[in-house]
Structures are given as C-alpha cells and as structure tokens.
Amino acid sequence: MDFGRTTVIRDLSFDIRRGETFGFLGSNGSGKTTTIRALLGIYQQTAGILHIDGRPFSPDAGERLGYLPEERGLYKKESVIDVMVYFGKLKGLGKEKARRWSHDYLERVGLADKEKLRLDKLSGGQQQKVQLGVTIMNDPELLILDEPTKGFDPVNRRLLMDIIDDQKKAGSTVMMVTHQMEEVERLCDRVILLKDGVSRAYGTVAEVQEQFGGTTVVVDHDGAIPASDAYTVVRDANGRAELEIADDADVSGILHDLVQGGLNISRFTPTRKSLDDIFVEVYGAENGELDR
C-alpha cells in the first residue's frame, strides 16, 4: 500500500480462521488501520485484496461484515433510533426487525430512554455504544474492531467485551486492533504484530511468546546460583532470581541440576514473556517512547 512515494504496508498476508479472535497489533503508525482500510476498499489499495470464504469482499456482496472504525461517528443530528434503523436497513434487515433489534440492544446497554434523542445529545461513551450496536446489528460473520475500547470507561469496557464475547459465542470471527495486551492475551487465539508495515510475528499467542524470548524461570532460593550454558541469570536479588532459559535447554533438567548443586529452592516457576513485554521489546527499542 503506497501513499505517493511512501510505502506504508509491504508484503503483508495473513489468514483469519472462522470463529477465532484475531489480534492485529502494532504501535501507532505501524499501519494497522491503513491495512484494514485498504482491505475494506476504503483506501484504494496499490495491491492486495480481502477474500472472505474465497470471494473478494464487496459491501454489496452480501457478506455479513461488521466494522467498528477507529474514527467514529454517526449522523449526529438524527435520533438514535433513526440512525440505527437506517443502518439496519442498509445491512439488509427489514425496518421492523431493525427497530426491534435496536430497542433490545439499547435496553441492554442502558440507553433505552435515549432512543429518540439526537446523537449529539449523548455523551461520547454513549455514542460509542450506539456505534457498536450499528456494527453488530446484522449479526456479522466477520467483525473488525479497530481499537474497540478506545474512549470507554472500565464499566463500559467490560460491557463491550461481554458483547464481543457474545458475538464470538454466536459464531462470529473477530479481528481486533488494540493496544491493550491484557485483552489480547485474554481474548485472542492468534495475533499478528505489525511494525512499519511489515509483519514481525504471526501465530498463536503461545507461538509469538515462544518466538520472542522463550521461557523465563523465577527461582526463590538460598545460596548462589551457579553459572550455566543452559540459562542466563537476568537478575538475582533478595533471594529471588530470574533465569532466561536457552532455546535448546530443558527446564526440568535445570531444576534437577540446581538441586543437585546444593541450592535450597522454595519456588521454581517457569513463565513465558508477556505480550506486553514483547510489545515493549519490539517497538520500544526503536521508538524510544511508546504511545500505548
């Protein structure tokens, strides 16, 4: 994907499997939103295409797609219910069905008494809820959410996550752009990490964790930890050490060797590097300062 002479996305290709939640990760300016816009034809892509079930995507082709963009907004001078019914009709719902669905949704998100108000009379968070409703009202098979929790307070964020969870249970495939690594670890089956328009990691969360730094072991101990090729002592203070395990080393063998070496061990916990740490590692080194 080029903008003038600048190439923003290069050789990017990935699959999202039916029913999974896919995390699309990257720092600000890494090309996530641009990729989505190009896939959906909002930007005219220099090359590339979005296939859904093997067919090129088109908004008129009848695929049930729900897209919650990063730049959000609806017709502010219109009433909540009118806007929801309009989008419902555009998405193929009948007028009455769209109206019923909207009533139920607004009831669920606590906006039932606001349905006749103009959108610009609602708070930012309330408008976001309406926008999410518009996004999912056609029961989408593919749900693309660009920073869905942006602008939500913790209570509404939980509500939003519940709604996304319900969609997933109902069989939706979810693609989520987010900076919230805890959400990714909790919700996503697979992820892709994008940096400067190029994929830096792609796979399940465990595979990505494996790819970036493998396993770390936290050891609570008395005595000195001996040096070994099987691990590197990252830190060791106040009786707690953190060992970074070498790629080809066996964690249980290390525990055996340490005990045999006479070390008194009260805790030995292998952990994987968190996505948060991986994110900092990938983007922090070059960006200097992260905007997350």
Partner 1 sequence: MKRHNLGTVVSFEFLRTITKGRFWIATLFVPVILIIVFLLVFVSNSSTSESAAAQKDARFSFEYTDASGLVEPAIVQNLGGKLASDDKTGIAAVKGGEMEAFFAYPADPSKQPILVYGADSGVFQNGKYSSVAESILTSSVEGRVDSPQYTAILQGKVSSTTTTFANGQVAGGFNAVVPALLFLAIFYIVILLLGNQMLNSTLEEKENRVTEMILTTINPTSLILGKVISLFMIGIVQMLVFALPTVLAYFFFRSQLNIPDFDLASFVFDPQQMIVGALILLGGFSLFTGTLVALGAVMPTAKDAGPIFGALMVLIFVPFYTITLIISDPNATIVQIFTYFPYSAPVTALLRNAFGTLPLWQAVIIIVELFVLAAIVLRIAVRLFRYGSIEYTNKVKIRDVLGRRSSTAAATSGQAVER
Q: How far is the CB of 270 from partner 1 (least distance, A)?
A: 44
Q: How far is the CB of 191 from partner 1 (least distance, A)?
A: 23
**What is the rounded distance in angstroms from the CA atom of residue 91 to the CA atom of residue 64?**
8
Contact 147, 70 (CB under 8 A): yes
Q: Which is nearer to partner 1, 127 or 216 (CB)?
A: 127
What Å distances lie between residue 13 and 16, 22, 199, 200, CA to CA?
10, 14, 8, 12
Nearer to partner 1, 120 or 207 (CB): 120
Instruction: Write each residue from 41 to 60 as x if it is in contact with partner 1 (CB under 8 A), else as -, in one continuous string.
Output: xxxxxxxxx------x-xxx
- Contacts of residues 220-223 at CB distance under 8 Å and 24 or more positions apart, as own/partner, are 220/265, 220/266, 220/267, 221/258, 221/263, 221/264, 221/265, 221/266, 222/263, 222/264, 223/262, 223/263, 223/264
Rounded CA-CA distance 96/79 in Å is 16
CB of 166 to partner 1, least distance (A): 21
According to DSSP, the residues that pair with 237 across neighbouring strands are: 240
Amino acid 30 reads S
Please identify, using beta-carbon distances, which residue of 74 and 205 lies nearer to partner 1. 74
Nearer to partner 1, 65 or 201 (CB): 65
In angstroms, the Cα distances linking 63 to 55, 169, 185 are 10, 19, 28
142 binds partner 1, rule: CB under 8 A: no
For residues 76 and 2, what is the distance between their CA atoms, to the nearest angstrom? 33
- State the alpha helices, DSSP H only, in the chain: 32-39, 80-90, 95-108, 124-136, 154-169, 181-187, 205-211, 251-260, 275-279, 285-287
Stretch that binds partner 1, among 39-47, 183-191, 231-239, 251-259 (CB under 8 A): 39-47
User: How far apart, in whole angstroms, are the C-alpha atoms of residue 53 and residue 167?
Assistant: 19
Ranges within 57-96 binding partner 1 (CB under 8 A): 58-60, 65, 67, 69, 71-78, 82, 86-87, 89-92
- Total site size for partner 1, rule CB under 8 A: 37
Parallel/antiparallel/unpaired status of strands 198-204 and 240-245: unpaired
Rounded to a whole number of angstroms, the minimum distance from the CB of residue 111 to partner 1 is: 18
- Cβ atoms 263, 223 nearer than 8 A: yes
Q: How far is the CB of 123 from partner 1 (least distance, A)?
A: 16
Q: Which two tokens stand for residue 271?
A: 């952990």
**Shortest separation between residue 55's beta carbon and partner 1, angstroms:** 10
CB closer to partner 1 out of 72 and 272: 72
Using the rule CB under 8 A, give the single segment among 33-41, 156-164, 249-257, 258-266 that binds partner 1: 33-41
CB of 89 to partner 1, least distance (A): 5
Minimum Å distance from CB 49 to partner 1? Answer: 6
Q: Which of 24, 26, 27, 37 binds partner 1 (CB under 8 A)?
A: 37
Residues at the interface with partner 1 (CB under 8 A): 4, 37, 40-49, 56, 58-60, 65, 67, 69, 71-78, 82, 86-87, 89-92, 131, 134-135
